[in-house]
Amino acid sequence: MAKYFLPIIFLIVSIFFSRPVSAQKVHNSFVGIRFGTALPMGELASHKYGYGGYALLGKSFGGEAAWFITPKLGFGVDYSMNSFNFATGYYVEDFYQANSADYMNVNMLSGPWRLKTYMGGAYYKISLNRKFSSTLKLMGGLFTARSPDQFFGIKTYMAGNLNWYKTGAKDRKFTFLTGVSLEYKLYPQVSLVLQADYTYAHAAFTFITGNTSSYTDYLGMPVFRLQPGINIHF
């Protein structure tokens, strides 16, 4: 992770300290926090048995900071944590239908999908009027995901009760994030924000099934986030 972000952070810090008067004058540089919803899309949200991720509408928390070298152009970093509950009822129904010849009953407990992003990139600010502005961003960085921990309780025709635990797997990808925000200025250095972000990664989750055996599930993971928040400008 460090090899991606240290050059970006060094550039941002260098630019910030080389242009302190300009940044403070326009008050466009900021730090902010966000709380909101994360919408899983594509294969991540699909209920197609054997291929989909069965992820439900999730929760998101994040923070970001940007340093502007002109009134319009800046550079910054963005971090987010996202979790999506697993659609257990739909999955159990599909699982049973696919194995009804062998299984009498299927029960399941599941944890959530967990996703984090660590991004750095460019910001472009557009002033709409005295109170409203919009900021576009294009970023690259690290996308990390963990599949749910799951417990299965199966009643079979031939072998009676079978129970097993499926430990979640992790994957990391270098990918992109793009976003746009609408900002309302409450005070010269405080504003309310509505942030919309989109990111995507094609993840590979490898599950160990024995000392020498494993299998890998591939999953497209597009995510759209809508987050209200607050910015503190400096």
Number of domains in the chain: 1
Q: What domain range is 206 assigned to?
A: 2-19+34-233
Task: Give the per-residue pLDDT at 6.
Answer: 47
The answer as to whether 47 is a domain residue is yes
The answer as to whether 26 is a domain residue is no
Task: Give the per-residue pLDDT at 101.
Answer: 85
Kindly give the parts of the chain with pLDDT less than 70. 1-26
Task: Give the per-residue pLDDT at 24.
Answer: 42
Task: Please give the model's pTM, rounded to 2 decimal places.
Answer: 0.83
Task: Give the per-residue pLDDT at 158.
Answer: 84
Q: Name the phi and psi angles at 97, rounded to 5.
A: -60, -35
The answer as to whether 24 is a domain residue is no
The answer as to whether 188 is a domain residue is yes
The answer as to whether 28 is a domain residue is no
Task: Give the per-residue pLDDT at 100.
Answer: 87
CATH of the domain at 69: 2.40.160.20
Task: Give the per-residue pLDDT at 84.
Answer: 98
The answer as to whether 29 is a domain residue is no
The answer as to whether 61 is a domain residue is yes
Task: Give the per-residue pLDDT at 160.
Answer: 86
